[in-house]
Structure 1
Amino acid sequence: MSEFAPEWLDLREPADLRARSSDVANTVSARFALRDDVSVLDLGSGTGSNLRATAPLLPHRQSWKLVDHDASLHEVAKTRLAAWADAAEFSDNGLRLRKDRREIDVTFVVADLASETAHLLDQPLHLVTASAFFDLTSPDYIRALAKAVAEHRIAFYATLTYNGQRRWTPRRPADNQMASAFHRHQLRDKGLGLAAGPMAPAHLADQFRLNDYSVIEGDSDWRLERSDRMLIEELVRGHAVAVSEIGGVDAKTIVNWINVSRTGVVVGHTDTFAAPAS
């Protein structure tokens, strides 16, 4: 299953929602508490899960622009968002949603973020956000994004950025060898330059601080147990596929590792909120 497939995004969404840092979320909510409206740009928007999780933190009138390179994901997002809302009206390129007394206008943009991110920021915005995205981007992309966001004095909120921590239950001797190979795979180009992988949270914090932003970070680890069996199994499979592709671990070790019955895993993520310091 591709990490961008709607089925994978649906499978991970409940775990993402549970994992989000409440401290960082509360800071986001406080930042916008005195506003009546907010305009949001969501990068790598997938099926709209970031909107569903973040909208409750924001003012009653919201305008969201969801950006992804895959037009088919936008079609899935429209269906998922309409089902999530209390009421939904469809237009040619968007939705008007009502959810818990919030009015949310949503437009959808197909864009190549490698070349079009700066252009997308050249519009009235209050918040740039993304979820489970920046570990797939390069340090250069993060540097350019932070600079562009700061030039426009926009707030920034990234959730579920992978930070390299992964602890399986039960543990096995090959876990470290598999993790090392997996992280080498993560550093490959995912379409936005050689990826930052597990160093992405550090790059985000550093770059926004260099642009005179105040930064708050919080853990947003997945803590998966027996009730998350399907997600654990998919993680194991995806982990093994990545390791097989990158090489460096023999096939017998990979097969033996896959055949361990996993009852839990902690996957480390970091949430980041950055706002102009003055």
Structure 2
Amino acid sequence: MTHHPVPDRPVAGDWLALREPADAAAREHSAPLITRLVQHWEERAGTAGTPGEEPVVVVDLGAGTGANRAWLSRHLPGPQRWILLDHDRELLEQAVAAARADGADVEPVLAGVEDLGRVLAEHPAARRLVTCSALLDLLTGEQIRDLARELAEQDVPALLALTVDGEVLLDPPHHLDPSVLGAFEDHQHRGELAGTDAVRLAAEALRERGMVVDVTPTPWWVSDQAWARPLLERFLADRADAAVEHRPDLTAEAHAWLRTRLVDCARGRLRATVGHADVLGLPSVS
């Protein structure tokens, strides 16, 4: 894979904690993809006569605090060995500590997405999976194409979860929603980042490499849940900050928008739908 620098805006651990309950609810929509993945392994086992007791090796890209492992491990069959890969040492240590507290078989790898080929080569197994959560939009189109190439060349399925797709619906609406949210989306595409094009780019790249692809919506629906207010407050503040960074001319409007939206939150009036999607890529069964 082509080397890429570590992103200049690392994902904050407290944001990962805030979004975890919304992610967990959204992930339930991914159950059919997991069923298809397990069927794929069963078909491969039937063709090759592979014993089903061998552990599944799961490489979790951008593992963060380990929420992806914690959720997905409960939905995958049999014994598992998790390779947690992240470029952030502090987050990786948190993820490994949580995994070991759960009794998981886990190995940390301090590395970036560009190191996937080496990691897969070092961990051969009859059943393997590459997964990630909320990562693809932070990659470039080139990195996504490189990822698809590695998966196809090494014949490994992928479950790429919870990538934002650009849909944000706030209720009640505000006349500054289009300006602030539009500037935030433009900020997500800064440089060469895939941003909200990531789901489409990943699906296209996997199909071009001959993989069978399924995409399913996994939206956040945030309303009056116990965890909603702190998540919404951070969600709104981050969007206002990024909008101003991208378009300084929006500073006054973005700050006014944020003040109003935080009042909506405090009064329990604000509802949000935030579009995400999961992408499943499967090698063909010969």
Q: Same fold (TM over 0.5)?
A: yes
Q: Indicate if the aligned counterparts of 1:220 and 1:271 stay in contact, CA closer than 8 A.
A: yes
- Secondary structure in 2 matching 1:130: strand
Letter paired with 1:195? L
- Following the alignment from structure 2 to structure 1, what is the Cα–Cα distance between the partners of residues 81 and 273? 34
Say yes or no: does 1:16 pair with 2:23: yes
Letter paired with 1:276? P
Q: Indicate if the aligned counterparts of 1:129 and 1:158 stay in contact, CA closer than 8 A.
A: yes
Letter paired with 2:61? L
- Following the alignment from structure 1 to structure 2, what is the Cα–Cα distance between the partners of residues 51 and 133? 14
Higher helix share: 2
Question: Which stretch of the first structure deviates more once superposed, 128-137 or 27-36?
Answer: 27-36
- 1:177 positional shift: 1.1
Match of 2:91 in 1: 73
Deviations 1:48-101 (A, max 9, x none): 111111112222210110000011112211333345x2xxxxxxxxxxx1xxxx
Match of 2:119 in 1: 120
Match of 2:11 in 1: 4
- Secondary structure in 2 matching 1:66: strand
| 1:1-278 equivalent positions in 2, closer than 5 A | 4-20=11-27, 21=29, 22-32=31-41, 35-36=52-53, 37-83=55-101, 85=102, 97=103, 104-113=104-113, 115-123=114-122, 124=124, 126-189=128-191, 194-227=192-225, 228-247=228-247, 249-260=249-260, 261-262=264-265, 263-278=270-285
- 1:175 positional shift: 0.8
Question: Quick one: structure 1 residues 249 and 177, their matched pair in 2 at CA, closer, same or farther if it must change by over 3 Å?
Answer: farther
- Following the alignment from structure 2 to structure 1, what is the Cα–Cα distance between the partners of residues 23 and 189? 22
Q: Indicate if the aligned counterparts of 2:218 and 2:275 stay in contact, CA closer than 8 A.
A: yes
Higher strand share: 1
Q: Indicate if the aligned counterparts of 1:3 and 1:9 stay in contact, CA closer than 8 A.
A: no
- Secondary structure in 2 matching 1:212: coil
- 1:176 positional shift: 1.0
Q: Indicate if the aligned counterparts of 2:96 and 2:108 stay in contact, CA closer than 8 A.
A: no
Unaligned runs of 5+ in 2: 1-8, 46-51
- Following the alignment from structure 2 to structure 1, what is the Cα–Cα distance between the partners of residues 146 and 100? 34
Question: Which stretch of the first structure deviates more once superposed, 35-44 or 132-141?
Answer: 35-44
Question: Which stretch of the first structure deviates more once superposed, 166-175 or 21-30?
Answer: 21-30
Match of 1:88 in 2: none
Q: Indicate if the aligned counterparts of 1:48 and 1:80 stay in contact, CA closer than 8 A.
A: yes
Question: Which stretch of the first structure deviates more once superposed, 241-250 or 148-157?
Answer: 241-250
Q: Indicate if the aligned counterparts of 2:99 and 2:106 stay in contact, CA closer than 8 A.
A: no
- 1:249 positional shift: 4.5
Letter paired with 2:211? Y
Letter paired with 2:120? L
- Secondary structure in 2 matching 1:259: helix
Match of 2:48 in 1: none
Deviations 1:138-179 (A, max 9, x none): 111011110111001100111001111111121111111112
Q: Indicate if the aligned counterparts of 1:16 and 1:160 stay in contact, CA closer than 8 A.
A: yes
Question: Quick one: structure 1 residues 82 and 117, their matched pair in 2 at CA, closer, same or farther if it must change by over 3 Å?
Answer: closer
Q: Percent identity?
A: 31
- 1:277 positional shift: 2.2
CA RMSD of aligned residues (A): 1.7
Name the count of aligned residue pairs.
254
Q: Indicate if the aligned counterparts of 2:96 and 2:106 stay in contact, CA closer than 8 A.
A: no
- Following the alignment from structure 1 to structure 2, what is the Cα–Cα distance between the partners of residues 147 and 78? 28
- 1:130 positional shift: 0.4
- 1:121 positional shift: 2.8
Unaligned runs of 5+ in 1: 86-96, 98-103
Q: Indicate if the aligned counterparts of 1:181 and 1:248 stay in contact, CA closer than 8 A.
A: no
- Secondary structure in 2 matching 1:40: strand
- 1:19 positional shift: 0.2
- Following the alignment from structure 1 to structure 2, what is the Cα–Cα distance between the partners of residues 157 and 119? 19
Question: Which stretch of the first structure deviates more once superposed, 219-228 or 244-253?
Answer: 244-253
